[in-house]
Amino acid sequence: MSSSRVVRVRTDDSAVVTTLRHGIEQIQAELEVTPAFPPEVEEAAARAAASPRLPGLDRTSIPFVTIDPDGARDLDQALHVERDTEHPGGYVVRYAIADVAAFVTAGDPVDLEAHRRGQTLYGADSKVPLHPPVISEDAGSLLPDQVRPALLWTIRVDETGEGTDVHVERALVRSTAQLTYEAAQTAIDDGSAVETLLLVKEVGEKRLAREAARGGVSLPLPEQEIDTGEGHTWTLEFRSLLPIEQWNAQISLLTGFGAATLMVYARVGVLRTLPAPDPRDLARLRRTARALGVDWPAEQLHPDFIRSLDPGNPAHAAVIVASTRLLRGSGYVAFDGEVPAEPQHSALASEYAHVTAPLRRLVDRYGGEVCVALCAETPVPDWVLRALPALPEEMRTSGHKASAYERAVVDLVEAGLLTGRVGETFDAVVVSVDEQDERRGKVTVGALGVEASVTGTAALPLGHDVRVRLAKADVATRSVAFELAG
């Protein structure tokens, strides 16, 4: 259940692009992050890229494919699915994950910098990478027609979509094609897809059904695209998610569930956790849905409600974005000897581990190493065990920075969207009120899909329809503010 809100640029307007780039440079300076790496890190990465530690097992004969956004270079995952000849009706899912440990050694400059960064930051076509591009976008990336070291997960799935067996080992792999989501979906729809893609659809649909049955939900966060109209006016439109994106995500989740099972059984590893949502956040989400004209029956549980939303519908997409508040409190828990008391990820209704994005997320390298050792029945490496206790805090810190980066970019885009509309009035709903000053709070403006601060001369009517006036939209300060009208 991702909380990442992706905003992409789809415009040739140089003024908009320049404004965005300048704003993002300011955000990076404020958060003290930079895409550039220190010279000693770049040098160490170049040496590692030239001489990786390669496994002896060769699985380059398996025709893996990757499915990613157009233009992606940091390819963590490649997949292959076939029918299970030993168990009629079942499937064999093979998921190759980039082997970062083939390039990075504990304590070397690349490793130390990765621990400092924690994860890759994304926002409006900008990126602050976890690892130098010579590894993350070249030697370590599962690019097509290149032999790469990988952690190869083999997962058997029965006819209902349930995983029945999981194993991971180091192997050399080769992707045969780098597909975009659009190309993969088109091939599936017109019948020209290779068997792997058709089976990704079968497995993905069965996994989605199992997710619904156990009360879990994966948040189908839509992407937003910035475009410009006449007079350099910004527009922000939601891009419809394709079915292949959810099916593909289910393969990643399947792997994370398998990894968590291995770790919990062996009582060592690191899990991704999430407590049950705060009732106040659920109440706020109901108000937001009403503000956007989206029906939410009183008896319907929130996983079923979110699952019913169509990311291609702008109002539904805005509700899905607002649903990210339900992920507050997410974190990691590391353990060695005793399983944690609260190991579950409540949104997924299961134990879960991050292991499928090591090029972009620090913790995945360690989760993968634990599982490789467990499957090989060898001790978990000392360098992994030494790092485990600090990982939850490192990921919490980097997660806060990633959220701040994402939020600042969204604020920048929304301010740009509303520049020139100061003084206009809109219908809105008050979705929250400041506990310290009830004249201040937040409104959702349905016509814009924007949530922003609002002030009034008296206590704000929580949950009520109001009319608001746009008082401020400043790109330089990335601020948008409304005031009650009348």
Cα separation, 250 vs 229, whole angstroms = 37
H or E element, residue 316: helix 314-322
| The predicted structure's pLDDT at residue 435 | 81
H or E element, residue 237: strand 234-239
Half-sphere exposure of 13 (CA within 13 A, CB side): 17
| Ordered per-residue pLDDT tens for the chain, 486 residues | 344 555 566 655 667 678 888 999 999 999 999 999 999 999 999 999 999 999 999 999 999 999 998 888 999 999 999 999 999 999 999 999 999 999 999 999 999 999 999 999 987 767 899 999 999 999 999 999 999 999 999 999 999 999 999 999 999 999 999 999 999 999 999 999 999 999 999 999 999 999 999 988 877 766 666 666 555 566 666 667 789 999 999 999 999 999 999 999 999 999 999 999 999 999 989 988 887 789 999 999 999 999 898 877 777 877 887 888 888 888 999 999 999 888 989 989 999 999 999 999 999 999 999 999 999 999 999 999 999 999 999 999 999 999 899 889 888 888 888 888 899 999 988 878 888 999 999 888 877 778 889 999 999 988 788 999 999 999 999 999 999 997
| The predicted structure's pLDDT at residue 35 | 96
Cα separation, 274 vs 1, whole angstroms = 10
| The predicted structure's pLDDT at residue 315 | 77
Cα separation, 180 vs 185, whole angstroms = 9
Asked if residue 449 lies in contact with residue 236, where contact means CB atoms within 8 angstroms, the answer is yes
What does the radius of gyration of the chain's CA atoms come to, in whole angstroms? 23
What are 459-462's contacts with CB under 8 Å, separation 24+?
A: 459/433, 460/430, 460/433, 460/484, 461/430, 462/287, 462/430, 462/431, 462/432, 462/433
Per-domain residue ranges of the chain:
7-275+329-404, 276-328, 425-484
| The predicted structure's pLDDT at residue 3 | 45
| The predicted structure's pLDDT at residue 358 | 98
Q: Which two tokens stand for residue 84?
A: 């299970």
∠ CA 421-424-429, rounded to 5°: 110
| The predicted structure's pLDDT at residue 406 | 86
**Of 63, 97, 174, 17, which Cα lies nearest the Cα of 367?**
97
* Stated length of the chain: 486
| The predicted structure's pLDDT at residue 13 | 60
Asked if residue 197 lies in contact with residue 205, where contact means CB atoms within 8 angstroms, the answer is no
Q: Which residues contact residue 481 at a Cβ distance below 8 angstroms, ignoring those fewer than 6 apart?
A: 452, 453, 454, 455, 470, 471, 472
User: What is this structure's pTM?
Assistant: 0.89
| The predicted structure's pLDDT at residue 9 | 62
| Burial status of residue 17 (CB atoms within 10 A of its CB: 0-12, 13-18, 19 or more) | middle
| Domain 425-484: top CATH class | mainly beta
**Of 186, 211, 208, 173, which Cα lies nearest the Cα of 80?**
173
Other C-beta atoms lying within 10 Å of the C-beta of residue 89: 10
CA 283 centroid distance within chain: 25
Cα separation, 460 vs 467, whole angstroms = 12
β-sheet bridge partners, residue 175: 64, 144
DSSP 119: B
Cα separation, 6 vs 151, whole angstroms = 28
Cα separation, 60 vs 175, whole angstroms = 8
Q: Which residues of 211-250 are buried (b: 16+ CB within 10 A; e: fewer)?
A: beeeebbbbbbbbbbbebeeeeebebebeebbbbbbbbbb
Cα separation, 168 vs 316, whole angstroms = 38
320, amino acid identity: I
Other C-beta atoms lying within 10 Å of the C-beta of residue 106: 14
| Burial status of residue 254 (CB atoms within 10 A of its CB: 0-12, 13-18, 19 or more) | buried
